Amino acid sequence: MAKSEAEVLEGLAAIVAEETGLDAADVQTDKSFTDDLDIDSLSMMTIVTLAEEEFDVRIPDEDVKNLVTVGDAVKYITGAQA
């Protein structure tokens, strides 16, 4: 059962919060992972690995660099589910 963008955002925000200690409510679609949320590349790869498992999708390494904002990731994951 594919998840909606809102459901993906909620799940992704929970993963980011768990990894970084940020409040899940601060993980909004317009936020940049690096500039706003201060997530380094290793943490980003950790979040990607956990998201792949959570949403049962595959996010190739070459696509990760295009996931600049939380919204980019939500769109990518939502689309990849189909």
Partner 1 sequence: MTNVVITGLGATTPLGGDVPTTWENALGGLSGVRTLDNDWAEKYGMPVHFAGQLAVQPSEVLTRPETKRMDPSAQMAIVATREAWADAGSPEVDPERLGSIVSSGIGGVWTLLTAWDTVRDRGAERVLPLTVPMLMPNSPTAYVSLEIGARAGAHAPVSACASGAEAIGMAYDMIVSGRADVVVAGGTEAAIHPLPISAFAAMQALSKRNDDPAGASRPYDTTRDGFVLGEGSGVMVLESEEHAKARGARIYGRVLGVGMTSDANHIAAPDPEGAGQTRAMQIALKNAGVQVKDVCHVNAHATSTPVGDMIEARGIRGVLGSHADQVLLSATKSMTGHLLGGAGALESVFTVLALRDRKAPPTINVTSPDPELEVDLVRDIPRALPADGQLAAINNSFGFGGHNVAVVFGTA
Return the C-alpha torsion angle 53, 47, 12, 24, nearest 10.
140
The HSE-up count of residue 73 (CA atoms within 13 Å, CB side) is 31
Closest contact distance (angstroms) between CB of 29 and partner 1 is 22
Hey, what are 4's tokens? 């909606």
Which entry of 38, 40, 56, 63 is annotated as an active-site residue?
40
Work out which of 13, 20, 27, 73 binds partner 1, going by CB under 8 A: 20
What length does the chain have? 82
Q: What residues between 52 and 81 interact with partner 1 by CB under 8 A?
A: 52-53, 58
The catalytic site residues sit at 40
Interface with partner 1 by CB under 8 A: which residues? 18-21, 42-43, 45-46, 49-50, 52-53, 58
